[in-house]
Structure 1
Amino acid sequence: MGKQLVTVGSILFVCLGNICRSPLAEAVARKHLAETGLDIDVASCGTGAWHVGEQADPRMRAAAAKAGYELELHRARQLRADDIEHYHLVLAMDSHNLRDMRRIFGGKRGTRLALFLDWAGAAPPRDFPDPYNEELTAFTQSVALAERGVRGLIQRLGEG
């Protein structure tokens, strides 16, 4: 690959409950980053505590598995204030998550905070829609959107 545009050793994907969008983005990024040879650690979490310790939503696990992504081992966790010290890039799934991240991190700097789809250059949409209260097709659409976003992310990280 060409010269790296942005030095990133770790990425944290953040959504609301860490059972749908952010674990999906993590799994898609993990697989595609490994395939491209970019050595970047990825993880995910949620701004809320409702699902801490739970697996990803069964509908998301099924949609991800159908597309070749593994979510079975995922366990939800909540965003912590010290995450800003451990991740080079923290990507929110939507603008509400981004606002919550800024509140949780307070005035701490040093980490890039951004919307996943904006930063990846994959917008529109800017916000990654939450499929949780939607029909099953929303989960399949989420997989396609995560793949598009990760393609943009890898392009931004790896091309020069």
Structure 2
Amino acid sequence: MPLPSILFVCLGNICRSPLAEGIYRHLTAAASEKPLIASAGIGGWHIGNPPDRRSIKVAAAKGIDISRQRARQVRPEDFLEFDLVVAMDESNLATLETVMPAEATARLHLFADLAFGTRQDVPDPYYGEPEDFEAVYSMLFSGCSAVVAKFE
């Protein structure tokens, strides 16, 4: 089964979803068929900006470069372009459910539910410390690894 195209979504597309995008891209780099992988935010506050410097730093420490990513907002066409639209938390998921067009073909998921079968939020580290970014990275790496394994 080919790896699904996937859009990771968080609030502003500068902390969690860029990390998930970078990790998933890293984990699927050797796949014979490269899936479409992207990230986006619910809000448009950071459109065009790079990820938060702390997300860039934690990813770089693990050998993943996310510095060239740029924040963007979720678009209606995303629900047709991607197989999976994956929300980092319940609030993001609820918003995606309200903006998803009727003709959408994508399947919506909460990240932890897709990855681990739990209803756990990926915590937003934005107002936290470096260790919060480390914890989010670890959760996302484990989760993305589990998602890749489901489709291998």
Determine which of 120, 124, 130 is the counterpart of 1:126. Answer: 120
Alignment partner of 1:50 is 2:50:
no
Moved over 6 A (4+): none
Q: Provide the residue aligned with 2:92 in structure 1.
A: 97
Counterpart CA distance in 2 for 1:137 and 1:90 is: 27
The gaps in structure 1 that reach 5 residues or longer are none
- Once the 2 structures are TM-superposed, how far is the Cα of residue 107 of structure 1 from its aligned partner? 2.9
For residues 20 and 132 of structure 1, do their structure 2 counterparts lie closer, same or farther at Cα, with a shift above 3 Å needed?
Answer: same
* Matching residue within 135, 138, 146 for 1:141: 135
Tell me how far apart the structure 2 counterparts of residues 37 and 15 of structure 1 sit (CA, whole Å): 28
In the aligned structure 2, how far is the partner of 1:134 from the partner of 1:119? 25
2:12 is the alignment partner of 1:17: yes
Using the TM superposition, give the Cα deviation of residue 71 of structure 1 relative to its aligned residue in structure 2, in angstroms.
1.1
Matched-pair contact (CA < 8 Å) for 2:15–2:124: yes
* AA partner of residue 146 (structure 2): G
The AA in structure 2 aligned to 1:134 is G
Structure 1 residue corresponding to 2:54, chosen from 55, 59, 70: 59
Q: Please, what TM-score do these two structures have when normalized by structure 1?
A: 0.89
- Determine which of 64, 70, 77 is the counterpart of 1:69: 64
Counterpart of 1:48, as a letter, is G
Cα offset, 1:34, TM superposition: 1.4
Identity %: 38
The number of aligned residues is 152
